[in-house]
Structure 1
């Protein structure tokens, strides 16, 4: 139940149907046979609830579930002593270190579903950490006690006490059309706390859409609108989740420059991005996230730009002697047969995956 044991038990809510499966997971569980309640059905949610502290990792419940609703994931032993943030399944070795240094630009990179957005929403104050308790949400006093003695304790204390303001650009800018109504110019006027609207709109090429309604903007225009709106805010921590989506190369560089300009002597800027070239252009340090998509994620210690990108591509963390991906990503410039057939001598850039054991 609580994400503090050596394994994680995942129950997919839209697949779990206790009324139609005969409760095979509960009946066949060897721990339940001893009288302990490792698997039980909650009356409120009517779903199978698995105690991760009691689970022995036999995976019998995974095999007998007719709806494939259960997944048991064993965690690396090196994670046992790390603090939990997020939903209790995001474990971090870098967040404390991150908030010890001001005026640095931090970038996070990792596969989809690994918990990047969830962690950012917690740091922005949008979500509340539950420390792995999926039934009763802890109070802020409990959260403060859990992080006592760490930089995150100071961070959450300031965030909750309104002594620090955070602003976050959402990942899915398409949703802006549903939640925000009005003309672009009028909306930007209401958020221009730093009095930089004219400069930013000119730099991000938004002047031509100032009289348009937000609902009529294209994907790229929505992205630039969202970046400008967050950059106009007066905040202590700026968070941008995938700011390069929908943008062409020129627009990505301009967006990166606008975001980089937010870095001040007493502020944080954190960006999640999949475009490695933009990360290289933007960041001072990179944190890689690894784990099992949809289950748990781990934030590594920060690395320099070159080292961090190489860690992500290689799928290997040298400082921890930990491999989090079996294949490494390599880039090769090769002469293409297709190019020769077209009469072109231009080499093609190819991305290939290699089994580390064979290289």
Structure 2
């Protein structure tokens, strides 16, 4: 039997380190400043540099200067490890010069573990290993491939030893809600939904779960007739109706509105509630892992967090398990404190830096759209739109449940303001892009050639969205996230007066969502001084860039009303009051956080009629 060793080999994996200086504590006439100035004179190389009364330390400084800086008095200087492409402690490698993952998430029975990381960093690989579909090879591709006994022995002394022992001895049943729901349901094509539910329901909970997820009216349909949101809720129902010991939920919020996301969260949390199993021990034995890019939802559903960092499609590293609030904040900061690793050179923040009150709105640029009504005879749905107005230099966000007519509003708006040019990013992209056989670069040259020659467009849009990394891929071969970035680029690169953007966060990871928010704000508002109508269910994106809100009310799919635009605070409060949910802001990075139902904070905010707390 091969001898597999756990942990890093420091003789092979040399850690990259950098020195971080707190310049507020390292000013002239301070002890640390004088100390570093004296050390800078002892080395012939430019390791410690004094520039404009500011200390800088070269990343390539010699070991003598590095150790001298590390021993600086006070706490103004700190040493931080950088993530490196490790050679040891490999959990799984797909092949020579292929992606590899270091470490694994560690689920704990009776709790919900959240996984947080960008696309291509190994989350799906980790789930495949934990579900037993993929066996860890510890980097041994061709020879000495570990057996199941080797794997259990490898994790001896850790929580994963008991976990894999149950998985490999078939004492544990695993149920997975997959990321790609459209591919998953191809095996059920042509089958009736009610028949499928009756077949899958092992917990005798179908009536309760279908009512909560509002899918009872779909029973007479076949599975291929469902929309994205309906299909997502159905597959979640399939998962939670299964009597399993381990539940994995991979990106449940896609295609769902805020209300539906909160309902799904409560259903997932219910899997570890003894009431739903009629047994305290049974509930405490359930393992649950959730992969989610909506940080407000991940924060709300999880007990613990494990972050994944590294280089997409090259390698991923799984961090240690940590409290959910600290874990998300450390991911936002780009610095894992317990491991002293800085994996991103910048922090992510959700502060709305361009509130409407701070902008100068010219009344001459005010545009009015008329009162409108649309009635669909086939479905019977009716939407009534109040008269409203907008200005240049403004982002108007449309907030409402699925089926309330937001996309219809966008279409009617473009028709009623036919004298104004507009650029429209559609919600569903597959039909438009799936048949395009050109490369991304060729397609962009065809669509937005003029903008490609603009150095500001390159700096403010192309570079942040990392379009250069996909320019040689054919459009029809793009993944969901890559296709979303291309569609956003095409929309922003099309000269127009109005920009109509429908769900730009779909398919994007949490980091890309922040970047897209900043790109829309900087390019359309700060640089072009244009107007943007945005449909978005991710509260983090909405709270970051929205200036005014149009709230949709009524019965989705039957009759709804689009109110006139109101200020950000009033709009959020009105929408959340309808949902009976309160949000607060994290003091460190301003991300919205959902208050637990009936918590002290929840009751206080409802009493004060403040359903969303701003800065």
Q: TM-score w.r.t. structure 2 length?
A: 0.42
After superposition, the CA RMSD in angstroms is 3.0
Residue 150 of structure 2 aligns to a residue whose secondary structure is helix
Partners in 2 of 1:200 and 1:173 — Cα distance? Answer: 19
**1:275 matched residue in structure 2:** 294
User: Which ranges of structure 1 fall in alignment gaps of 5 or more residues?
Assistant: 8-74, 354-359
Task: Find the counterpart in structure 2 of residue 285 from structure 1.
Answer: 304
Which residue does 1:199 correspond to in 2? 208
**Conserved? CA contact 1:339–1:347, under 8 Å:** no
Which structure 2 residues correspond to residues 136-151 of structure 1 after superposition, within 5 A?
136=143, 137-151=145-159
For these two proteins, the number of residue pairs brought into alignment is 281
Change (3 A) 1:248 1:302: same
Kept in 1, the 8 Å contact 2:203–2:241? The answer is yes
TM-superposition CA deviations, 1:147-194 (whole Å, max 9, x none):
333322221121011111111110100113322231111111111111
In structure 2, distance between residues paired with 1:112 and 1:77: 18
Q: 1:297 to 1:77 in 2, by over 3 A?
A: closer
- Kindly name which structure, 1 or 2, has the bigger radius of gyration based on alpha carbons: 2
Q: C-alpha deviations, 1:239-296, integer Å up to 9, x for none?
A: 1000111111111111111111111211111100000010111111111110111121
Query: Aligned in 2, Cα 1:81/1:133: closer, same or farther, shift over 3 Å?
Result: closer
| 1:222-253 CA-partner distances (Å, limit 9, x unpaired) | 11111100101111111100011111111111
- Residue of structure 2 equivalent to 1:247: 256
Q: Which residue of 2 aligns with 1:129?
A: 136
Asked whether the 8 Å contact 1:112–1:293 carries over to 2, the reply is yes
Alignment of 1:255-274 (within 5 A): 255-263=264-272, 264-274=283-293
2:239 is aligned with 1:230: yes
Residue equivalent to 2:482: none
Q: For structure 1, which segment, 125-134 or 184-193, has the greater mean C-alpha deviation from structure 2 after superposition? A: 125-134
> Are residues 221 and 348 of structure 1, via their aligned partners in 2, closer, same or farther at CA, if it must alter by over 3 Å?
closer
Other-structure match for 1:172: 180
Map 1:1-359 → 2, pairs under 5 A: 6=13, 76=83, 82=89, 84=91, 89-92=100-103, 95=105, 98-99=106-107, 101-136=108-143, 137-181=145-189, 182-263=191-272, 264-333=283-352, 334-336=354-356, 340-341=361-362, 351-352=517-518
1: distance between equivalents of 2:396 and 2:360?
Answer: 8
* Change in CA separation of 1:288 and 1:199 when aligned onto 2, cut-off 3 Å: same
Tell me the distance in 2 between the aligned counterparts of 1:338 and 1:176. 47
TM-score by length of 1: 0.70
Indicate the structure whose relative CO is greater, using CA pairs within 8 Å and at least 6 residues apart: 1
Cα deviations across residues 125-155 of structure 1 (Å, max 9, x unaligned)? Answer: 2222222223354322332333333322221
CA contact (8 A) 2:89 2:138 kept: no
Given that residues 310 and 316 in structure 2 are in contact (C-alpha distance below 8 angstroms), is that contact kept between their aligned partners in structure 1? yes
**Aligned match of 1:70:** none
- The 1:183–1:86 alpha-carbon spacing in structure 2 relative to 1, beyond 3 Å, is farther
Unpaired runs of 5+ residues, structure 2, are 15-81, 273-282, 367-389, 398-513, 520-615
